[in-house]
Amino acid sequence: MQGVSSLGTVENYVQFSGKRPALVVRPFSSASVEARFTSQSTSESPFISDNELIYGVWLVEPDGMLQLNGGATISKIGSKGAILLWGSGKLNNLPNVVGNFANNGALILSGNAQFTVSETFSNGGFVGLNEGGSIQAQRYEGNPSSRLGGNQGTINGSVENGGKIEPGDSAVDDSDPVTIPASYPGDSGPVLSLSGFPEDPNGKFSGAFMASDSADSPSVGMLPLNQVDEDSIGVITINGDYTQTETGVLALDLGGTNPEESDQLIVNGTATLGGTLILLSHDEVFPVNGTAFSPFTASAIVGQFDVISYGMASGRQIFNVALTDTGLTASAMTLNVSTFAEWREAIFSVVEQTDEAVSGLLADPDGDGLANLLEYALDGNPKVVTQPMVDSLFEYNQSGGVESVTVDFPRANGMTDVQFSLEYSTDLDSWIPLTSQEQHTEQPG
C-alpha cells in the first residue's frame, strides 16, 4: 500500500501470498490495499467508522481476502471509499451482506464477481458492472446522485432508478479528473493510473495506486481494473421489475444495427417509465437515416418517458422513438422542417411543448445563452450546450481603401419563416441596416 498518512508521510505496503496477517496502523486518507491470490491482510479502524468504509480504494483479486479489523462488518461505502472486487475476491463479509447496504462511493464488480444483499441496496454513488459482475438484492434503489454503468452486468431484483443509468459508463468523472501513478520510489516497474476519484477537503487524494515488482509477484504489468471509457458500449440486465422515477435518467449510446454495437438495457420484468431518456450517437458519428435500433426491452412497459433528449450538436439530427408493449425502437433521421412550429414539435416532448419556459421562442433550456429561436435558425440543439460564438464570427477586411466585415455563422437549411439581416449601431439604441452580399453554403444532410 502506498498513501499519504494524516501526518503527511508516505508509506508503502504490499503483501503477496501468505497466511500471516499484517497490520497497518497509520490512518491513511489516500490508502489502497492490494490482496493477491490467497493472501490475507488486516487493517485497524481508521478506515471504518460505524460500519462505514470511509477512505481508500480497496482492490481484491480472485481468491484474495482483505479483512478490516479482523472481520468488522461494512454496511456502507462512504463518498471517499471504493471497493473493486474481481471474481471470487472477498472483503470482510462482502460480497454477502445481511440486511441493507448503502454505497455513496464506488463499487465496481468485474470478472463475474457477485455481490449479494439480503434486503435493499441503496446507491448514492457509482456502481460498475463489468464482464459479468452482478448484484443480488430484493431491491436496488438509485437516488438522484447515483450512477449505474459498466460494460456487462446484471441486477437480480427489482430496481427503482432515480439517478442515471448509462451502460458502458465508467467510474471516471471527467469533471474532476485525478491521476495517481503507482510506481514506488526508485522502481522502474509497471505503473497504474486510475482517474476520477475526488480530492478530499484536506488536499489528499482518495485514489488507488499500486504496482507489483517482477521479483515479488508473477503478476506483472497493469493491474486489470477494467476501467471502461465514458463512451464505450455496455449491456445491463435487470432480472426483476424496473421503475424509473421523475428524476431518473436512462442514457444510451447507439452505434450500429448489431446489439454489440449499441448500449442495451434488458428488463426481464415490468418497466414503469418516467424521467428522461437520452439517446447519443456513439463516437459522435450520426447513423445513416433510417437505421433502426432496439436498445431497451422489457417483458411489459407501462407509461412513457417525460423527456427525450438527443446528444447531437445539430437539432435536426434526432432519433424517432417508438414505444411498444415490450420495447423501444429508435430510428435515426434528419429532420426536414421549414418552420419553428414544426421544429418545436419534433424536438420537444408533448409535455415540454406545453411549457413556454422550455420550448418557447425565447427559452434557453440548456442554458448556453442561445434561445430556441437561435438554436432553430443556426441549426443548433436546444438540449445540448453549444460553445459560444464570439470572435470567430466577425472578420474585418480592408482592400483598396474599402473596408468590409465578414460575418460567418451556421444556418439551418430549408427555413421559410426566418430572415437574416445585418445592422450596425453607434449607440446600441438605434440600428441601421447594412448593405450586404450573402453567400450560403449548404452542408450535406
For the ranges 12-16, 62-66, 185-189, 261-265, which has the lowest average pLDDT? Answer: 185-189
Helix, coil or strand: residue 349: coil
DSSP strand pairing (2-4 vs 10-12): antiparallel
Domain membership of residue 132 (yes or no) is yes
Does residue 73 form part of some domain?
Answer: yes
pTM over 0.75: no
Residue 57 inside a domain? The answer is yes
Place of cell 462512504: 78
CA–CA gap between residue 94 and residue 73 (Å, rounded): 9
Q: Is 292 a member of any domain?
A: no
- The residue among 175, 200, 226 that closes a domain is 226
In a domain? residue 233: no
3-state SS of 361-401 is CCCCCCCCCCCHHHHHHCCCCCCCCCCCCCHHHEEEEEECC
Residue of 154 and 17 predicted with greater confidence: 154
**What is the rounded radius of gyration, in angstroms, for the C-alpha atoms of the chain?**
27
The whole-angstrom separation of Cα 404 and Cα 402 is 7
Please provide the DSSP assignment of 263-291 as one string: -EEEEEEEEEE-SEEEEEEGGG-PPPTT-
Given 187, 204, 226, which residue is the final one in a domain? 226
The count of other CB atoms within 10 Å of the CB of residue 273 is 21
For residue 333, name the pLDDT band (cuts at 50, 70, 90): confident
Q: Which domain holds residue 21?
A: 1-152+162-226
Domain count of the fold of the chain? 2
Residue 382 domain flag: no
Separation CA 162–CA 247 (nearest Å) = 5
Q: Could you give the C-alpha distances from 274 to 135, 238, 277, 308, in angstroms and in order?
A: 23, 17, 9, 10
pLDDT of residue 1 exceeding 50: no
Across 205-214, 282-291, 328-337, 341-350, least confident range: 205-214
Share of the chain above pLDDT 90, in %: 26
pLDDT band for position 207 (cuts 50, 70, 90) = very low
Averaged pLDDT for residues 139-150: 93
Give the residue from 181, 199, 226 where a domain finishes. 226
List, for residues 147-162, the tens digit of each pLDDT value.
Answer: 999 889 999 999 999 9
Is residue 276 domain-resident?
no
pLDDT at 13: 38
Question: CB under 8 Å to 21, separation ≥6 — which residues?
Answer: 40, 41, 42, 67, 70
21 pLDDT band (50/70/90 cuts)? very low
Confidence of residue 143 (pLDDT cuts 50, 70, 90): very high
Residue-level pLDDT at 331: 87
Mean pLDDT of all residues belonging to the chain: 70
Res 15: pLDDT: 37
CA count, 13 A, side-chain hemisphere, 419: 3
Query: Predicted confidence band at 105 (pLDDT cuts at 50, 70, 90)?
Result: confident
In 173-240, at which residue ranges do the beta strands (DSSP E only) sit? 179-180, 194-195, 235-239
Please check whether residue 354 lies inside any domain of the structure: no
**Closest of 56, 18, 10 to residue 186, by C-alpha:** 10
* pLDDT tens digits, one per residue of 283-313: 666 777 788 889 999 999 999 998 888 766 5
3-state helix, strand, coil in the chain (%, to 5): 10, 40, 50
